[in-house]
Amino acid sequence: MKITALIVAAGRGSRASGPGLLPKQYALIGGEPVLTHTLRAFALHPEIQAIQTVIHPDDRDAYAAAVTVPELRLKLVPAVHGGSTRQASVRLGLEALKVIEPSVVLIHDAARPFVDTAVISQVIDALRSAPGAIAAAPVADTLKRATDAGFVASTVERANLWRAQTPQGFVFAAILDAHLRAAQGGRADFTDDAALAEWAGIAVKLVESSDRNSKITTQDDLAMAASRLGPDYETRTGTGFDVHKFTDGDHVWLCGVKIPHDKMLDGHSDADVGLHALTDALLGTIGDGDIGTHFPPADPQWRGMASSKFLAHAAQRVAEHGGKIINVDITLLCEAPRVGPHREAMQAAISQVLGIGPGRIGIKATTTEGLGFTGRREGIAAMAQATVQLPAIGPGARK
Ligand code: MG
């Protein structure tokens, strides 16, 4: 049995998106478009051999972005454009599938990303003995028929009532023929393929599914779908390196602490080499340039500026991305001054700016054994690393 899937993603879905926004099948949940989740469910199913997607021509770019994940590449055939109704879109998708001569096709809504492997398998199994089979959920609520005035007219017996979902699987030749006949006969009013199959006299078996496979229709559905996937974080690191040379003076600023010394560091700001390296490390975690991008050295307003301001700005940028600083680590390279006596004060100063505890702030120092410019006491070098946690959900996710 050559088994294919047809994913219907051409709808405009205005209820869950809105003006200027992409249709709901391209909204992000868990950091990925809804459609990507849906396609993955079929791509990873061992019995599905090819996947045809039907898209709206306006969504070409969004579609291209939704299918970049490698696990989708093997089974996806080039997408085709849909028609003005869902029914027309399915027919166009079926016609495109003709060239690969499938024996059965599973037609599925792009906006049902939580379809599970077991339901797909059960629909396929049912098709071994029936020309049609659909996922459906038994009706659990008591059903009321209403009067025009909004009163209960009667209670509907819910035994044997099901809510149709997708996938809806059919013998390929039979459903293609039914679609072509419906189109020729001017019938464009079928809301799902099972209704069209019913009209065409194709027997359709019900496969029990659950509410988990429900369709994302509204903004609330989207929010629920995102929360179902749970918080999705990713960890990022950034590094920084800086050097400042000594000049005449009586103190240096290192990691936010003023230390008496027989020289000072030269620079436009307070020349705090440790905080400069750390600022770059934080900016590095979000790909946001470096300290010079944000505070150009040629700009006189940064002259004599406390470098804690630069660090606070970088921390703010990370926070604007929804990021949380996990830890930072700085190594100072110099012969003097000695760093050890000031370590706790440095941790406290950085803790104050970043809002993380001193146990998350590494301050280390090393000499370079008298070698190089630091060994010759011409200046101080600093390296830093920062680790942050960023949400992979919502604006900016996975960018
Ligand atoms: Mg610097």
Residue 374 has pLDDT above 80, yes or no: yes
pLDDT of the residue at 47: 96
381 CA distance to ligand 1 centroid (A)? Answer: 9
pTM of the full predicted structure? 0.62
| C-beta separation of 98 from 176 below 8 A | yes
Q: State how far the Cα of 254 lies from the Cα of 276, in Å rounded to an integer.
A: 10
| C-beta separation of 87 from 179 below 8 A | yes
- pLDDT interval class at 398 (50, 70, 90): very low
Q: What is the CA radius of gyration of the chain?
A: 31
Tokens 């700005």 correspond to what residue? Answer: 313
Residue 181's alpha-carbon distances to 187, 194, 197, in angstroms, are: 9, 15, 11
30 CA distance to ligand 1 centroid (A)? Answer: 38
Q: State how far the Cα of 338 lies from the Cα of 367, in Å rounded to an integer.
A: 10
Residue 322 has pLDDT above 90, yes or no: no
pLDDT of the residue at 29: 87
Task: Indicate the SS3 state at residue 344.
Answer: helix
91 CA distance to ligand 1 centroid (A)? Answer: 64
If residue 180 lies in a helix (H) or strand (E), which one and from where to where?
A: helix 172-184
- pLDDT interval class at 211 (50, 70, 90): confident
344 CA distance to ligand 1 centroid (A)? Answer: 22
Name the burial class of residue 173, with classes exposed (0-12), middle (13-18) and buried (19+) by CB atoms within 10 angstroms of its CB. middle
| C-beta separation of 120 from 127 below 8 A | no
Q: Which residues contact 43 (CB under 8 A, 6 or more apart)?
A: 51, 71, 72, 74, 75, 76
pLDDT of the residue at 332: 98
321 CA distance to ligand 1 centroid (A)? Answer: 25
pLDDT of the residue at 223: 87
369 CA distance to ligand 1 centroid (A)? Answer: 23
129 CA distance to ligand 1 centroid (A)? Answer: 74
The total of other beta-carbon atoms located within 10 Å of residue 120's CB is: 24
In total, the chain counts a number of residues equal to 399
253 CA distance to ligand 1 centroid (A)? Answer: 12
- Token representation of residue 17: 């998106």
312 CA distance to ligand 1 centroid (A)? Answer: 15
In the chain, count H helices and then E strands.
12, 18
Q: What angle do CA 13, 21, 16 make, to 5 degrees?
A: 35
Residue 231 has pLDDT above 90, yes or no: no
Nearest to 132 by CA among 104, 98, 170: 170
Cis omega (within 30 of 0) for bond into 231: no
341 CA distance to ligand 1 centroid (A)? Answer: 23
275 CA distance to ligand 1 centroid (A)? Answer: 8
pLDDT digits (tens, 9 = 90+) for 137-147: 999 899 999 99
274 CA distance to ligand 1 centroid (A)? Answer: 8
Residue 321 has pLDDT above 90, yes or no: no
Phi, psi of 56 (to 5 degrees): -90, 140
The total of other beta-carbon atoms located within 10 Å of residue 145's CB is: 9
261 CA distance to ligand 1 centroid (A)? Answer: 19
pLDDT of the residue at 20: 60
- pLDDT interval class at 396 (50, 70, 90): very low
Residue 399 has pLDDT above 80, yes or no: no
343-354 and 273-285 are packed helices; what angle lies between their axes, rounded to 10 degrees?
40
Q: Quick one: average pLDDT of 301-323? A: 92
Q: State how far the Cα of 131 lies from the Cα of 365, in Å rounded to an integer.
A: 75
